[in-house]
């Protein structure tokens, strides 16, 4: 059951500060603490407002009475003081307000006075989305997925599902001579989220392409990059010898994720396709389904666990096979700087949403799905069993190697390196 908590008293300044911090990209909890409010209030204020500031963020001009002045005015009025005496005690002019405008608690829109609401109800957004999604409003096909960490994915209605920007642009095409049919996509967004305060209403969020019920501040979306990624570790800085596979010792890595937050790591050598698997067991204190916010990563594939597993595997290799490692921008590689110091590996990261930049590893993961089909709890396999799977894969002839096995190709290049000092492809 929803708990309203302690009634807020003069929270306007705190809320203004809260929404200013939200605009800078701070999470709701941190924005609440920075504005002097309690941490649980932040997410509540954000949800209740639908992700949109419910009040003006401009500083108070002093023209209007503050909350404390309104309270003082009510007390003085109850004691039957005159208007001029009240104005003198408040430090205000008795004629400071426009002629005919009611004062303080009797003003229109003040709760309990029966006046009109302060802001008109906006129907612009719902009308626009209804016009854009009126066709083909049927339920989608049944979802047969096994479900993930958040359970089975619910069906969504099928519709045109236009975003506000296509709506805005299409109106100009359909009504080229009607100036009244001009509206910006930002105005539609604001109308939607202001009308649906307290999270966007379900019938409206179903029309949006993303289905997002709360609007995300723009500054927060611009901070989605991984903080441990710097320009010098991007794949664009990787030497050319890695791209052309001329020298062995350059690896690609990734995680294969299974149910119950189980995972194994994969390391594939680019030149010979030699594969090593990382055993990532859950750590003490891990319980399936339990997740401690901002707590330690106990599932086994956190940054510390992955760093230790890679360091242990790489340490058994000859020095000429420990040159570089290319990974995607997963949070499990947040300790890459420490890994580079411990192993001497040069670490590089792919561009976001670019799995083809680790094509060798992606192909190998596809082969591994023969042994670990999707839906398999990978955590039940021991390190010895993973080594057996890797040995089986390394003894399989490959077309790209001229039907040599990865183990044979790796041994040949090691012998070549010992004889010539440089391991190259014959």
Q: Give the dihedral sign, CA 203/209/211/214.
A: negative
- Which pLDDT does position 123 carry in this prediction? 45
Residues 208 and 240 in one domain: no
Give me the phi and psi of 240, to 5 degrees please: -65, -30
The confidence score (pLDDT) of residue 157 equals 58
* Residues 247 and 203 occupy one common structural domain: no
pLDDT in the model for residue 144? 47
Whole-angstrom Cα distance, residue 205 to residue 213? 6
Domain count within the chain: 3
In this prediction, residue 362 carries a pLDDT of 95
Shared domain for 239 and 176, answered yes or no, is no
399 and 379 both lie in a single domain: yes
Looking at the fold, whether 162 and 205 belong to one and the same domain comes out as yes
Residue 376's domain comprises 231-285+297-420
Q: Quick check: is 94 in a domain?
A: no
State the Cα–Cα distance between residues 333 and 305, nearest whole angstrom: 10
Whether 59 maps to a domain, the answer reads no
Which residues, in sequence order, are CB contacts of 255 under 8 Å at separation 6+?
Answer: 263, 264, 265, 266, 280, 301, 306, 330, 332
Same domain, 396 and 275: yes
CATH of the domain at 392: 3.30.420.10
Digit-coded pLDDT (tens) for 175-230: 999 888 888 888 887 777 766 555 556 666 666 666 677 777 777 766 666 778 88
Please report whether residue 73 resides in a domain: no
Q: Domain check: are 302 and 409 in the same one? A: yes
Asked whether residue 42 is domain-assigned, the answer is yes
179 shares its domain with 250: no
**Nearest CA-CA partner of 345 in 335, 354, 353:** 335
* Predicted local confidence at residue 136, as pLDDT: 40
Maximum Cα interatomic distance, the chain, rounded to a whole number of Å? 105
Within a domain: 119 = no
- What averages of pLDDT result for each successive group of 10 residues across the chain (426 residues)? 54 86 87 90 84 72 75 89 89 63 40 41 48 46 49 57 82 89 82 62 65 73 74 92 90 93 94 96 72 68 92 92 94 93 94 91 94 90 95 94 94 80 44
Distance separating alpha carbons of residues 276 and 310, to the nearest angstrom? 10
Q: In whole angstroms, what is the distance from residue 253 CA to residue 235 CA?
A: 13
DSSP character string of 207-266: TSSS--SSPPPHHHHTT-S-TT--GGGBGGGS-HHHHTT-SS-EEEEEEEE-GGG-EEEE
Note whether 215 and 333 are same-domain residues.
no
In a domain, 205, yes or no: yes
307, 394: one domain: yes
């Amino acid at each position: 059951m929803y708990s309203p908590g302690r009634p807020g008293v003069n929270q306007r300044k705190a809320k203004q500060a809260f929404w200013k911090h939200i605009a800078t990209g701070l999470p709701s909890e941190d924005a609440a603490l920075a504005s002097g409010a309690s941490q649980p209030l932040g997410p509540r204020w954000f949800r209740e407002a639908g992700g949109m500031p419910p009040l003006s963020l401009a500083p108070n001009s002093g023209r209007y009475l503050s909350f404390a002045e309104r309270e003082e005015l009510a007390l003085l009025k109850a004691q039957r003081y005159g208007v001029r005496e009240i104005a003198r005690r408040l430090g205000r002019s008795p004629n400071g307000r426009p002629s005919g405008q009611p004062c303080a608690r009797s003003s229109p829109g003040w709760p309990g006075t029966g006046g009109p609401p302060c802001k008109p109800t906006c129907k612009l957004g719902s009308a626009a989305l209804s016009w854009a999604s009126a066709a083909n409003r049927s339920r989608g096909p049944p979802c047969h997925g096994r479900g993930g960490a958040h359970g089975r994915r619910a069906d969504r209605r099928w519709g045109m599902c236009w975003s506000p920007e296509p709506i805005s642009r299409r109106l100009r095409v359909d009504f080229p001579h009607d100036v009244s049919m001009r509206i910006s996509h930002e105005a539609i967004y604001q109308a939607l989220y202001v009308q649906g305060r307290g999270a966007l209403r379900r019938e409206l969020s179903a029309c949006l392409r993303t289905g997002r019920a709360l609007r995300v501040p723009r500054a927060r979306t611009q901070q989605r990059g991984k903080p441990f990624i710097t320009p010098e570790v991007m794949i664009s800085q990787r030497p050319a010898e890695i791209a052309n596979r001329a020298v062995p010792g350059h690896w690609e890595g990734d995680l294969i994720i299974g149910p119950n937050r189980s995972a194994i790591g994969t390391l594939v050598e680019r030149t010979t396709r030699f594969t090593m698997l990382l055993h990532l067991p859950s750590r003490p204190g891990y319980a399936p389904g339990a997740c401690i916010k901002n707590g330690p990563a106990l599932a086994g594939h956190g940054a510390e666990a992955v760093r230790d597993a890679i360091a242990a595997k790489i340490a058994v290799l000859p020095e000429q096979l420990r040159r570089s490692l290319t990974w995607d921008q997963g949070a499990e590689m947040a300790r890459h700087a420490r890994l580079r110091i411990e192993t001497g590996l040069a670490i590089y990261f792919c561009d976001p949403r670019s799995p083809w930049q680790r094509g060798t590893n992606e192909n190998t993961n596809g082969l591994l799905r023969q042994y670990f089909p999707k839906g398999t709890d990978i955590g039940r396999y021991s390190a010895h069993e993973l080594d057996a799977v890797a040995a089986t894969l390394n003894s399989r002839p490959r077309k790209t190697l001229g039907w040599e096995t990865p183990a044979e190709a790796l041994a040949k290049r090691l012998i070549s390196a010992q004889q010539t000092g440089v391991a190259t492809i014959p």
